Amino acid sequence: MTWLSACLLALTAGSATAGTYSQTKYPIVLVHGIFGFDKIGPVEYFYGIPSALRADGAKVYLVQVSAANSHEVRGEQLLTQVKQILAASGAAKVNLIGHSQGSPTSRYVASVRPDLVASVTSVGGVNKGSAVADLMLGVVPPGSLSNTVLVSIANGFGAFMHLVSGGAGPAQDSLAATKSLSTAGSLKFNAAYPEGVPTTACGEGAYTARGVAYYSWSGAKPYTNFFDIVDPALALTSLAFSGARNDGLVSSCSTHLGRVIRDNYRMNHADEINQTIGLVHLFETNPVTLYRQQANRLKNAGL
Ligand code: CA
């Protein structure tokens, strides 16, 4: 064997290995959360993630549902797009990965059409509501927070939404979205669409329900990078959780769905989708790696 042919063989072997790590049986559909579409658009929401998955052999689709609306309205929009993806790809099912409100949106589709869904993965998913949404609706636990703190949280939330929406006005149906994302709204939604949701306060949910596999992970560090402009806002909104572990917008326990891979990465709600443009904690596993690992997990599960 010549030196050149040995090199070519090594290159081929290397690319074959790297090219199939994320090669799931069913296409991966990334489902966005509530914010960001005026500025960053659906393609850039999961920053650098689709390209990384595709480089590893996954078929990846991005969808666009209402930036702000109820889980059910967004879920119906997602279902329509899932059917289109199935028709276009020839696949029998999809793997849904949803961030933030993208999780309950995906759960809706898996609940009403489990025959079309192989798995649902929740990333920082608002599965049991958010104390920040509760506060925005004026639901405040009695005596828990001072007015000064409430004002700080409201200011932080306003600043965060302003930053991620590029200063646009209230998107679509913000009130419907906030109600869905509240604790009360989530309880109601979970009663109708319970698959994968833990029945205990902070445990795991069923790993499989009606033939669909459920997984979740999340961060639990609101402030992670000095250079990221959204971090000060998330540090303020994190005050809504009165000390409970959270990613700035969602408590760790609320993110649990099915098999909990981990709920305390050093990531905030934006880091979970590798935002803002890759500014994340320097000494934590890269968020993109977590998506690749999940694709590999799905692949190994035959999904
Ligand atoms: Ca960040």
Whether residue 10 is contained in a domain is answered as no
106 catalytically annotated: no
Ion ligand 1: residues, CB within 5 A, are 228, 270-271, 279
pLDDT of res. 170: 43
CATH number of the domain that residue 41 is part of: 3.40.50.1820
Whether residue 7 is contained in a domain is answered as no
Pair of tokens at residue 112: 């009403």
pLDDT of res. 4: 46
Q: Which residues pair with 219 in a beta bridge?
A: 265
What's the number of domains the chain is made of? 1
pLDDT of res. 139: 85
pTM for the model: 0.91
In the three-class reduction of DSSP (H, G, I as helix; E, B as strand; rest coil), residue 52 is classed as helix
Phi, psi of 106 (to 5 degrees): -70, -40
Choose, from 66, 100, 122, 180, the residue flagged as catalytic. 100
Distance CA 36, CA 94 (A): 24
DSSP characters over 214-256? EEEEEE--S---TT-TTHHHHHHHGGGGTTS-BSSSSBHHHH-
pLDDT of res. 35: 67
pLDDT of res. 254: 98
pLDDT of res. 174: 80
Whether residue 130 is contained in a domain is answered as yes
Q: Distance, CA 18 to ligand 1 centroid (Å)?
A: 27
Residue corresponding to tokens 């078929």? 59
247 catalytically annotated: yes
pLDDT of res. 1: 41
Whether residue 62 is contained in a domain is answered as yes
Q: Distance, CA 269 to ligand 1 centroid (Å)?
A: 8
Q: What b/e sequence results for 212-231 when a residue is b if at least 16 CB atoms lie within 10 Å of its CB, and e otherwise?
A: bbbbbbbbbbbbbbeebebb
146 catalytically annotated: no
Q: Distance, CA 225 to ligand 1 centroid (Å)?
A: 6
Phi, psi of 114 (to 5 degrees): -60, -20
pLDDT of res. 44: 81
Whether residue 277 is contained in a domain is answered as yes
Amino acid at 248: G
Mean pLDDT by 10 residues, the chain (303 residues): 44 55 97 67 80 96 88 96 97 97 97 98 98 88 81 87 64 80 96 98 98 98 96 95 95 98 97 94 97 98 98
* Domain that includes residue 194, residue range: 21-300
Whether residue 4 is contained in a domain is answered as no
Whether residue 50 is contained in a domain is answered as yes
Q: Distance, CA 63 to ligand 1 centroid (Å)?
A: 23
Choose, from 247, 263, 271, 281, the residue flagged as catalytic. 247
Q: Distance, CA 250 to ligand 1 centroid (Å)?
A: 15
pLDDT of res. 168: 54
Q: Distance, CA 133 to ligand 1 centroid (Å)?
A: 21
Whether residue 3 is contained in a domain is answered as no
